[in-house]
Amino acid sequence: MIQNVIDGVLTGSYLSLGAIGLTLVMHILRFANFSHAELLSLGAYAALVCDALVTALAPVLAIKLAPLSLTWALGLAIVLSMVLTGLSAVVIDRLVFRRVRERGAELSMVFASFGMALVIRNIIGLIFGLSPKLYSQEIAFATVLSFDPLILVKPDQVFVLLAALVLMFALHLVLSRTTFGYSLRAVAENPALAQINGVNLARTIVAVWLIGGGLAAVAGIFYGMSHQIIPVMGRDLVLPIFAATIVGGIGSVYGAVLGGFIVGLAGNLALLVLPAGYTPSVPFLLILAVLILRPHGLFGEARA
Amino acid sequence: MIGVISYLVFFATTASILAIAVLGLNLQWGNTGLFNGGVVAFFGAGAYGTLILGGAAQAGHLGGYGLAYPLALLGGMIAAGLMAWIVGLLTLRLRHDYLAIATFGVAVAFENLMRNAEWLAGGAKGVRGFERPLRSALGDGFIYNLLFFLAVLLILIAVYLFLERLVASPFGRLLRAVREDEEAAASLGKSPARLRLTAFVTGSVILGLAGGLYGTFYAFVSPQDILPTLTFQIWAMLIVGGAGNNRGAIFGAFLIWGAWTASGWALSRFAPVEAQLYTGSLQFVLIGCVIVGMLMWRPQGLLPERLVVSQRGKPPSVQ
Amino acid sequence: MFNHTHRAASAGLAFGLAVLGTTASAQECTTKIGAVLPTSVDWGRPIAETAQFAVDQVNEAGGAAGCQIEMVLRDTQVDPKVGVDAAKALVDLEGVKVMLGAVSSGVSMPILTSVTVPGGVMQMSCCSSSTAFTGLAEEGKTEGLWFRTFATTAVQSAIGAKVAQDQGYGSVAILYKNDDWGQDMGRMIAADFEAVGVAVTTSIAINDAQPSYRAEVTEALRTQPDAIYLALYPAEGTAAVREWISLGGTQNMILANSLKSDEFRENVGMQYLGSALGTDTSSPRSDSADAFRAAYMARFDSEPNGPGLANSYDATMIALLAMEAAGPDATGAQIAEAVARVTDPAGTPVTADAAGFAQARDVLGGGGTVAYQGATGNVQFDVNGDVSAPAVVWSFTETGTQEVSYLPLDEVDAFIGSLR
C-alpha cells in the first residue's frame, strides 16, 4: 500500500511534466493536442542521439553520478534535447498547426494533431527501429527503505521527482513574476484584447511551444530512464497525460501537476481494488468521477 | 475481372458499414455538437449484442439465444442505445474536450471489460459461432457477398433518408439551435439536456446498427475490433467528408477507407522488395499526411455543411 | 485470375531448357502467395522477414511447382478490418491460393471466416494460438483449409510446470500477456503448477501498451514467490523484468518461448538471466536439425530468437512444400490436402533449407511423401490443423541461447497425460 503510494507519486512526476505543456497548449491555442505525447518520444530519442554524440566526443563525460544511472553526458543530452524538442515543436507549429489554425475550426486542429502524431511516431519507428532502446543497459537497483512493510525506492526516481519539482517551481516563478507570465495569461484570457495591449501574439505562441516542448522532452527522458524508449511510448503515454490535464482542469498549471500525481496514484493503487486486467480503465473511471463532481476539472474554469 | 468485382463488392460492404457509423456520429457531432470520443464502445455494443443474441451456444460465456437475425440485430442496437442512455445521463453536461475524454474512457473501459470478462463474451478470444443469415441457402461465395452488400446498401440509404428528414424537421432545427447557442434554445422553453440526450442515444443506436452489421459480415468479433483506432478512423471520415452534411459523411467514409486500403495495396505492389518490411510504418506516415494535408487544404471537409437556418457565429480564433 | 504467366518460348529455347532441367524452366513463371502480417509492429516485422527468408530459400532451390514464388506482403496494422481487406485483395486481385498469416487470432479468425474459407484458399498461420480455431475446425467450418504451426499452448505450459518441479520451486508468480494467447497460457500454467504441487502465489495480467508495469510487478513481488513465470512478448517482458530485478525480485525465472529473444537478453542483461530457464517446442534430434538455425544466422547474423520466427519459417516452408506436392495450377483445397504428404511421419525426412526443399521435390516427384523436419520440430498436423511437437528447455548464453534438456514427443505426451 505505502509502496504503491510512493510508486504513484514517482510515476506522477513525469506525467505532470507532460501535462504542464499540454495544458498550456490547450489553453492558449485552444485545441486538444494529441501529438503532444509524441514530443515526449522526440525528446527521449533526441537525448539518446545526443548522449551517444557527447559520449563519443568527450568520453570523460560517460562517468556516472552515483548512485544515479545518470551520466554527465546524459545530463548534457537532456539540456540539448530540451532545446531541440522545443524547436521541433515550433517548427511543427509553423509547418502545420498555424496553417490549420488560420483556416479551420477547433476540431480541425484536434485531427491535424492526430495525423501529426501518426507521422512523428512512425518516422521515429522507421529511423530507430521498432524495438525498445535504453540509455543504460545496466539495471539500477532499488534501495530498501524499510523491510516491514517492504518499501523500495530507486535513486533515479527520487532524482526524477526532485528535478520535476524544481522545473515546476521555476515555471511557477516565470508565470507569476515576469512580464512574460502576465502576457501569457492575458493571451489565454482574451487573445484580441492582449494584442491591443501590445502583447506580441506570435512570440507568445512560440514561447508556449518552447516551454511545452522542453518540458515534454524532460518528461520523455525521465520516462525512458525509468522504463524504456520505444517508438510507441507516445501512444502509451498520451492518455495518462490527457487524463492528468483534464482532471486538473485545462489551463491550470497547478492543476496539471496535481492531475499528474492523481493519475499516477490511481494507476498504482488500482491493482489493490481490481484484477490486473482492468487497470487500464482506472484512470478513466477516475476522470469520469472527477468530471461528474466538477465538470471543468479540479482547477479549471468555465469558459465560453 | 470477376476478381476485381468481387473485391470491390467486399470493399464497398466494409465502406458502407463504416458510412452508417459515420452517419450516426454526424448526428451527434455534426448536428448537435457532441464530441463523442467513445464511438467504438457503441459500435462494439452493437456487434457483441448481435453475435451473442443471434449466435450458437458457446462454452463458458453468454450466448446461444439463437434469436432470428433481425431480432438479434435489433437487440444489438438496443444494447448500444441503453449504454448511450446511461453514459449520456452521466456525461452530456460536459463540454467538448471534457466530454471527449470522458466518453473515450468509457470506450477503454468497455474494451477492457470485453477483454477480461470471459464469462461475458469470451474474453480476448472473442465471440464466434455465429451463422450468417441465409448462408445455408446462398452458400458463402460471391453471390452471398453481393446480396449482403445490397442489403447493407439499402440500410445505409434508409439511415441516410431517416437522418435527412430528421435534420430538416423542427427537431433537427432544435438540435442545431442547441449546438449554436444553448442558452438561447433554453430561453425558448426547450430543454437542451433532453435534446442532447435524445440525439446522443439516436446516434449511438445507429453506431450500434453499424457494429451489428460489421459483426455479421465477419461472423466474429473480439476486443481487437474495438480498439481506439476505429474511433479515430470514423472521426477522420466525418471531418474529411464534412461534418454536418450527411452526404459528406458517406463520401468521407468511402474516401478514407479507400485511401487506407489503397495505400497498403500500392505500397505492397510498387515499393521495392527491400522496402516491403517498412511499408507498414510508411503507410501510417502517408495516412497521417493525407489527413493533415486535407485539413490544411479544406478544413470544412469536402462537402461542407449547408447552413440554411442558423447563422453560425465566428468561433473564437487565435491569429 | 491468372497466377501463372507462362510466356511462350520458342521450340529451340524449350529444347535447351529441357536439357538444362527443371531448375532453369522455373525461372519462366512466377506464382504469387499472400502474406498478411503486422509489419508495423515491433514483433511483427521479424516474422515477415523470416517468411520472406523461407521464400528466398525455395526460390534458390528453383521455386515451387515449377515457378518462382513471389510473396505479396500486406500489413494488418493488427486491425481486423485492415487485415481482412488486405487478405481479400490478395485473393481477388492477386489470385493467391495460399495465405500466410495473420499473427493475432483476432485478425486470423475473420480472415478465415470471411475470406479464405469462402474463397477456397489455404490459410497457414504461424502464430495464432486461440483455442477458438480448434473449435471452429471441429465444427467442420474450416473445410480443412486452416493450419497453424504454433504448437498448442499445452506443450509449453506442461514443460513450464516440469521446469518448476525439477528446479524445486515451491511457489511461482505468473505474469501473462493479456491477449488470447496469454490468457490461455496463464490459465493452463496455473493448473499445471497446481498439478505438480507448485503453489501459484498470484497470476497477473499484463496489458499491452501501458506506460509502466511497476504496479503489477510490485504486486507480484509482494507475494514473495520462489520463482516467476513469464508469458510475455519482448517489449513488455523487458520492461517488466527490468522493473522486477531492480526491485530485488528473484532471478529464478521460467520463460515462455516468446521471450527467446536477443532483444530481451540484451536489454535485461546476461548477468541477471543466469537462472532463467525457457521452454520451447523443438526439432527432433537429427543431423539436419540445425539447418534452419545455421541458414538463419548466415542471413541475419543473429540467432532466430523472437516470438514466432521459427513458426513463421515453418508455416512458409510447409505451404510451399504443399504447393510443390500439389503441382502446378492447384486449387487452395488441393494444396491444403497436400500438406499431409509433406508432413507424413512415415515419409522421407527433409531438412529445413534450400537443399531440403530440392530433395523434397525429387521425392514428391517420384510419388513419395516427405517428413518436413522444421525449425519448430517434426511438424505434424492433426485433423484440426493443430500441431504437437517435442519440447526443449533452454537458457540464455552470452551470444544467444543453448539447450538445457530435450524431451521427445512421447515423453511430452506422457508428461501431459500425468498432469491431467
Higher pLDDT, A275 or B58: A275
The pLDDT of residue B308: 59
Percent over 90 (pLDDT), chain A: 38
Count of CB atoms situated within 10 Å of the CB of C2: 8
Where residue A304 falls among pLDDT bands split at 50, 70, 90?
A: very low
Stretch 155-214 of chain C: residues touching chain B, C-beta under 8 Å: 178-180, 182-183, 205
Is B239 in Cβ contact with A107 (below 8 Å)? yes
- CA B52 to chain centroid: 20
Q: How many CA atoms lie within 13 Å of B36's alpha carbon, on the beta-carbon side?
A: 36
Cell output for C154:
499445452
Distance of residue C37 Cα from the nearest chain B Cα, in angstroms: 9
- Amino acid sitting at position A257: V
- C114: chain B residues, CB-CB within 8 Å: 217-219
The predicted-structure confidence for B4-16, as pLDDT tens digits, reads as follows 999 999 999 999 9
Stretch 319-358 of chain C: residues touching chain B, C-beta under 8 Å: none
- Residue C59, pLDDT > 60, answer yes
Residue B57 near residue B63 (C-beta atoms within 8 A) = yes
How far apart CA C375 and CA C289 sit, in angstroms, is 7
How far apart CA B256 and CA B155 sit, in angstroms, is 20
Percent over 70 (pLDDT), chain C: 91
Out of C73, C79, C93, closest to residue B7 by CB: C93
User: What value does the mean pLDDT of chain C take?
Assistant: 85
Cell output for C122:
489455404
Where residue C369 falls among pLDDT bands split at 50, 70, 90?
A: very high
Decide if the complex's ipTM is over 0.95.
Answer: no
Higher pLDDT, B300 or C314: C314
Stretch 72-111 of chain B: residues touching chain A, C-beta under 8 Å: 90-91, 93-98, 100-102, 104-106, 108-109
Tell me the β-bridge partners of C74: C36
Residue A132 near residue A228 (C-beta atoms within 8 A) = yes
Quick one: average pLDDT of C351-370?
Answer: 90
Is C183 in Cβ contact with B118 (below 8 Å)? yes
The pLDDT of residue C287: 53
H or E stretch including C262?
helix C262-268
Distances, alpha carbon C144 to alpha carbons C148, C222, C280, C344, in Å: 12, 48, 27, 16
- Residue A229, pLDDT > 90, answer yes
How far apart CA C121 and CA B7 sit, in angstroms, is 15
Count of CB atoms situated within 10 Å of the CB of B271: 16
Quick one: average pLDDT of B133-161?
Answer: 91
- Residue C93, pLDDT > 90, answer yes
Residues 6+ apart with CB under 8 A from A167: A17, A215, A218
Distance of residue A174 Cα from the nearest chain B Cα, in angstroms: 23
Residue B208 near residue B42 (C-beta atoms within 8 A) = yes
How far apart CA C44 and CA C77 sit, in angstroms, is 9
The pLDDT of residue B315: 52
Quick one: average pLDDT of C410-420?
Answer: 84
The pLDDT of residue B229: 85
Cell output for B79:
444494447
The pLDDT of residue A28: 86
The predicted-structure confidence for C120-164, as pLDDT tens digits, reads as follows 999 999 988 887 888 888 888 889 999 988 776 788 889 999 999
Strands C380-381 and C387-388, sheet pairing:
antiparallel
CA-nearest residue to B234 within chain A is A111
Where residue B83 falls among pLDDT bands split at 50, 70, 90?
A: very high
Most confident region among A10-19, B170-179, C83-92 by mean pLDDT: C83-92
Beta strands in A190-292, from DSSP E residues, in sequence order: none
**Which chains does C contact via 3+ CB–CB distances below 8 A?**
A, B
The predicted-structure confidence for C27-41, as pLDDT tens digits, reads as follows 578 999 999 999 878
The greatest distance separating any two alpha carbons of chain B, rounded to the nearest whole angstrom, comes to 66
Q: Which of B172, B190, B228 is nearest to B43 (CA)?
A: B228
The pLDDT of residue C311: 87
Residue A266 near residue A287 (C-beta atoms within 8 A) = no
**How many interface pairs between A and B have CB atoms less than 8 angstroms apart?**
143
For an interface test with C, which of A15, A150, A241, A279 has the most C Cβ atoms less than 10 Å from its Cβ? A279
- How many residues does the structure list for chain A? 304
Quick one: average pLDDT of B155-159?
Answer: 97
CB of B115 within 8 Å of a chain C CB? The answer is yes
How far apart CA B71 and CA B77 sit, in angstroms, is 10
The pLDDT of residue B9: 95
Statement to judge: residues C403 and C361 lie in one domain: no
Statement to judge: residues C261 and C320 lie in one domain: no
Quick one: average pLDDT of B138-166?
Answer: 93
Distance of residue C83 Cα from the nearest chain B Cα, in angstroms: 10
For an interface test with A, which of B296, B305, B314 has the most A Cβ atoms less than 10 Å from its Cβ? B296
The greatest distance separating any two alpha carbons of chain A, rounded to the nearest whole angstrom, comes to 63
Is B220 in Cβ contact with C74 (below 8 Å)? no
Is B239 in Cβ contact with A288 (below 8 Å)? no
The predicted-structure confidence for A144-192, as pLDDT tens digits, reads as follows 887 777 788 888 888 889 998 999 899 989 888 898 888 888 887 787 8
- Residue B43, pLDDT > 90, answer yes
Cell output for C127:
502464430
Residue B92 near residue B193 (C-beta atoms within 8 A) = yes
- Residue C327, pLDDT > 70, answer yes
Full DSSP string of B240-268 = HH-TT-HHHHHHHHHHHHHHHHHHHHHHH
Is C44 in Cβ contact with B279 (below 8 Å)? no
Statement to judge: residues C250 and C361 lie in one domain: no
Is A126 in Cβ contact with B285 (below 8 Å)? yes
Out of B6, B11, B220, closest to residue C110 by CB: B220
User: What value does the mean pLDDT of chain B take?
Assistant: 88
Out of A99, A101, A292, closest to residue B318 by CB: A101
Backbone angles phi, psi at C258, to 5 degrees: -65, -20
Percent over 70 (pLDDT), chain B: 94
- Give the pTM: 0.88
Full DSSP string of B175-206 = HHHHHH-HHHHHHTT--HHHHHHHHHHHHHHH
Stretch 3-62 of chain B: residues touching chain C, C-beta under 8 Å: 3-4, 6-7, 10-11, 14
Residue C211 near residue A41 (C-beta atoms within 8 A) = no
The pLDDT of residue C297: 85
Stretch 236-255 of chain B: residues touching chain A, C-beta under 8 Å: 236, 239, 243
How far apart CA A245 and CA A21 sit, in angstroms, is 9
Q: Percentages helix, strand, coil for chain B, rounded to the nearest 5?
A: 75, 0, 25
Residue A21 near residue A215 (C-beta atoms within 8 A) = yes
User: What value does the mean pLDDT of chain A take?
Assistant: 88
Statement to judge: residues C197 and C136 lie in one domain: no
CA angle C155-C157-C159, nearest 5°?
70
Cell output for B242:
464534412
Is B315 in Cβ contact with A106 (below 8 Å)? yes
Residue given cell 502576465 in the structure block: A182
Statement to judge: residues C345 and C406 lie in one domain: no
In total, how many domains does chain C have?
A: 2
CB of C234 within 8 Å of a chain A CB? The answer is yes
CA angle A245-A248-A249, nearest 5°?
80
Cell output for C158:
506442461
- C215: chain A residues, CB-CB within 8 Å: 4, 7, 267-271, 279
Strands C380-381 and C370-372, sheet pairing:
unpaired
The pLDDT of residue B98: 82
Residue C260 near residue C280 (C-beta atoms within 8 A) = yes
**How many interface pairs between B and C have CB atoms less than 8 angstroms apart?**
139
**Which chains does A contact via 3+ CB–CB distances below 8 A?**
B, C
Structural domain range at position C408 = 153-274+390-419
CA angle A90-A94-A99, nearest 5°?
140
For an interface test with A, which of C204, C214, C216, C232 has the most A Cβ atoms less than 10 Å from its Cβ? C214
Residues 6+ apart with CB under 8 A from B129: B55, B56, B57, B58, B63, C135, C139
- A271: chain C residues, CB-CB within 8 Å: 204, 215-216, 218-219
The pLDDT of residue C19: 40
Q: Which of A244, A26, A111, C76 is nearest to B37 (CA)?
A: A111
- B299: chain A residues, CB-CB within 8 Å: 100, 103-105, 108
The pLDDT of residue C58: 94
The predicted-structure confidence for C214-266, as pLDDT tens digits, reads as follows 889 988 998 999 999 999 998 899 999 999 998 889 999 999 988 988 889 98
Quick one: average pLDDT of B108-124?
Answer: 90
Statement to judge: residues C90 and C160 lie in one domain: no
Residues 6+ apart with CB under 8 A from C120: C145, C331, C332, C333
Stretch 200-229 of chain B: residues touching chain A, C-beta under 8 Å: none
The answer to whether position C81 is within a domain reads: yes
CB of A144 within 8 Å of a chain C CB? The answer is yes
Residue C144 near residue C337 (C-beta atoms within 8 A) = yes
Where residue C202 falls among pLDDT bands split at 50, 70, 90?
A: very high
Out of B6, B268, B284, closest to residue C92 by CB: B6
The enclosing domain of C92 has a CATH number of 3.40.50.2300
Out of B3, B223, B230, closest to residue C1 by CB: B3
- Residue C350, pLDDT > 60, answer yes
- Residue C5, pLDDT > 80, answer no
Distances, alpha carbon A291 to alpha carbons A248, A287, B227, in Å: 10, 6, 24
**Which chains does B contact via 3+ CB–CB distances below 8 A?**
A, C
Strands C276-281 and C391-396, sheet pairing:
antiparallel
- B109: chain A residues, CB-CB within 8 Å: 281, 284-285
How far apart CA B149 and CA B131 sit, in angstroms, is 17
Least confident of B204-218, B287-301, C89-103: B287-301
The pLDDT of residue C27: 54
How far apart CA A154 and CA A156 sit, in angstroms, is 5
How far apart CA A4 and CA C334 sit, in angstroms, is 59
H or E stretch including C238?
helix C234-246
Higher pLDDT, A132 or C377: A132
Residues 6+ apart with CB under 8 A from C52: B273, B276, B277, C71, C73
Is B116 in Cβ contact with A281 (below 8 Å)? no
Distance of residue C365 Cα from the nearest chain B Cα, in angstroms: 31
Q: How many CA atoms lie within 13 Å of B23's alpha carbon, on the beta-carbon side?
A: 30
Least confident of A49-53, B300-304, C73-77, C324-328: B300-304
Distance of residue C171 Cα from the nearest chain A Cα, in angstroms: 19
The greatest distance separating any two alpha carbons of chain C, rounded to the nearest whole angstrom, comes to 79
Distance of residue C113 Cα from the nearest chain A Cα, in angstroms: 28
Exposed e or buried b for every residue in A120-148, given b needs 16+ CB within 10 A?
bbbbbbbebebbbebbeeebbebeeeeee
Strands C391-396 and C401-407, sheet pairing:
antiparallel
The pLDDT of residue B260: 86
Distance of residue B165 Cα from the nearest chain C Cα, in angstroms: 31
Domain ranges of chain A: 9-230
Statement to judge: residues C203 and C256 lie in one domain: yes
Residue B85 near residue C139 (C-beta atoms within 8 A) = no
CA angle C105-C255-C193, nearest 5°?
90
DSSP state of A274: S
